[in-house]
Amino acid sequence: MARRHVRLAPLLGTTVDVEVETGTRLGWSPRSARSIETGVSGELRRLEAVFNVYDPDSEISKLVKDADRHYLADGRSCPFVTQVSAELAEVLSLALDWHTCSDGLFNPLIGRIVALWQQGRQRDSVPEKGRLAKAVEEIASMPFSMEGRMVTAYNRLTGLNLNSLAKGWIVDRALESVVESAIGSTEDRAVGDGKGARSVFINAGGDIARRGVGWLDIRVEDPHRPYDNVPPLGTVRLTGGGFATSGRSRRPIEINGRLFNHLLNPRTGVAADEVAAASVMADDAATADVLATILAVSSLTGARRLTHSDLFSRRGAAAMVVGSDGSRYQNDMWQWIGATEAGP
């Protein structure tokens, strides 16, 4: 087999790796490989311009500004209604669904709580409980609804942040944009006759999506020792679909010499501290991304219970939870997929 691996320029706030596997070296076409890389990069950049909350010119930023301007204006008591792109409409609709089925553990307005913690870091002071409680109350109910591509906002959209859903969704869309032309028919992939790639996978900072034949072995990092020279907790084999890990080992919030998890519980406003990391394998990267985030912001007991709930079983999602106390827990699906685990 021949493989081509490329690391794209930073996209979505992280590095993006693309790997293409062909059936035979004779059938390998550098031009075709570059075409795949160009297609993935172009789709990532196009969708980044829709969902990047740190870009004031992105579509989501403009939506928030327009809705907030509407409600800050005097005498504006009627809802704000506007049409958005098909991409933003789809993810906003998904966000509403996830907010409901997760009982608020996924919240697309988490940006309001994030802002309080960012202010706390600047002032070197943990956010006041009263301000956190107020923010939690404000975001408990969604201030917008969707009908097709039409958004109806009933209040300000300040803090709208779809990152924990949109990143995986973007990876899925980027992969789908090149799969048909890159991989070809099922028969071509099976025999590896050089007509197309056998598989393509994208890794955007841990949000992974893969299509094709064969498999990809993913090393599950130890969140208590997140170093390259430390053995992984185990290995999971991804044939197709998505994989994601969410945890506290990256980007901590430092306040007055203390390190807090950057993952915040939208139902309490506080930094999650019982789950060190959660890994999920699902049918697509978007689902894996959201479910891993939901587990990571839960209590340890709650996370274990969730892995056996309808939230996971209906989606056939495999999950492993690593507690801050060093404990590990896998649901039945994780064991069924044949994940290997290192020693305790």
pLDDT digits (tens, 9 = 90+) for 72-90: 875 567 899 999 999 999 9
| pLDDT of res. 1 | 58
Lowest-pLDDT range of 54-58, 175-179, 315-319: 175-179
Residue with tokens 């930094």: 271
Share of the chain above pLDDT 90, in %: 66
Please write the tens of the pLDDT for every residue from 54-75.
999 999 999 999 999 998 875 5
Write the pLDDT tens digit of every residue in 223-270.
988 777 888 888 899 989 999 999 987 788 999 999 999 999 999 999
The band of 338, judged by pLDDT with boundaries at 50, 70 and 90, is low
Identical fold between 1-53+163-206 and 74-162: no
- Owner of token pair 């070809």: 184
Range of 177-191, 211-225, 307-321 with top mean pLDDT: 307-321
Using CA atoms, how far residue 79 sits from 94, 162, 212, 258, in Å, is 21, 22, 46, 43
The letter for the amino acid at 90 is E
What are the residues facing 318 on neighbouring strands? Answer: 281
Find out if CATH 3.40.470.10 is the number for domain 74-162.
no
CA end-to-end span of the chain, whole Å?
Answer: 35
So what's the architecture of 215-344 in CATH? Roll (3.10)
Percent of all residues in the chain with a pLDDT value above 70, rounded to a whole number = 88
Of 89-93, 135-139, 330-334, give the lowest mean pLDDT range.
330-334
Alpha helices, DSSP H, located in 124-203: 129-139, 163-183, 186-191
Q: Tell me the pLDDT of the chain averaged across its residues.
A: 88
26 touches 114 (CB < 8 A):
no
pLDDT on residue 229: 80
Domain boundaries, the chain: 1-53+163-206, 74-162, 215-344
- pLDDT(291) > 90: yes
Name the pTM for this structure. 0.91
Q: 1-53+163-206, superfamily in CATH?
A: ApbE-like domains (3.10.520.10)
User: Which is higher by pLDDT, 279 or 341?
Assistant: 279
Q: What are phi and psi of 188, to 5 degrees?
A: -60, -45
Q: Of 235, 232, 261, give the one whose Cα is nearest residue 249.
A: 261
The DSSP symbol for 337 reads T
